[in-house]
Amino acid sequence: MLFTPTVVKNLLKKPATRKYPFEVREPFTKYRGELVMDIDTCIFCGICARKCPSQCIVVDKEKGTWQCDPYACIYCGWCVDSCPTHSLSMKHEHRKPVTEKAEWIEQGTPPKPKKKKAPAENKDDAGSKAAADKKADADEKAEAGKPAEAESKADAGKKADAGKKDEK
Ligand code: SF4
Ligand code: SF4
């Protein structure tokens, strides 16, 4: 008799379950369902691979490939949050079931290699050349100053001699 109200209530109420897969519930907003990749905007920086806690992303900058193991992904969304070009995003829906495991590989256009800077030796050469020029200038100035110095010393000597003669 104690259970009668509960039994009556359950008989009148809608069932708590759904007839899945015939009846599918709409996903919640911001639900992390499936990882989506836009390879055209990817710059192959590799940040997503470094941030991924399950290490399921592999980025090859030289070949221009982005690879993910969707069976190791835990859908945490760290790669999405850290991607600087917003190439990664998440769908609200679940990934569809498959019968065979397959790696997820995206082939993009590898970035052009950057132009190499001038070797450090050339820089050193330029530096040493500048230093040598400075030294040469300093030497020239010193040479130019020497005769004047010699002349002034000679004048001083002459004056001293003249003074001695006067004393006599
Ligand atoms: S998906 Fe984003 S974070 Fe990952 S390599 Fe491409 S640009 Fe970098
Ligand atoms: S969602 Fe998380 S586990 Fe999945 S690839 Fe991105 S960082 Fe790795």
Q: What is the pLDDT averaged over residues 147-161?
A: 53
Q: What is the pLDDT averaged over residues 47-63?
A: 96
66 compared with 138, residue with greater pLDDT? 66
0.75 surpassed by pTM = no
Q: What is the pLDDT of residue 168?
A: 45
Please spell the DSSP secondary structure of the chain, one letter per residue.
-TTHHHHHHHHHSPPSS--TTTS-PPPPTT---EEEE-GGG-----HHHHH-TT--EEEETTTTEEEE-TTT-----HHHHH-TT--EEEESSPPPP-SS---EEEE-PPPPPPPPPPPHHHHHHHHHHHHHHHHHHHHHHHHHHHHHHHHHHHHHHHHHHHHHHHH-
Q: What is the pLDDT averaged over residues 124-141?
A: 62
Q: What is the pLDDT of residue 46?
A: 96
Residues with CB under 6 A from ligand 1: 42-48, 59, 66, 83-85, 87-88
Ligand 2 atom showing the smallest separation from residue 55 Cα: 8
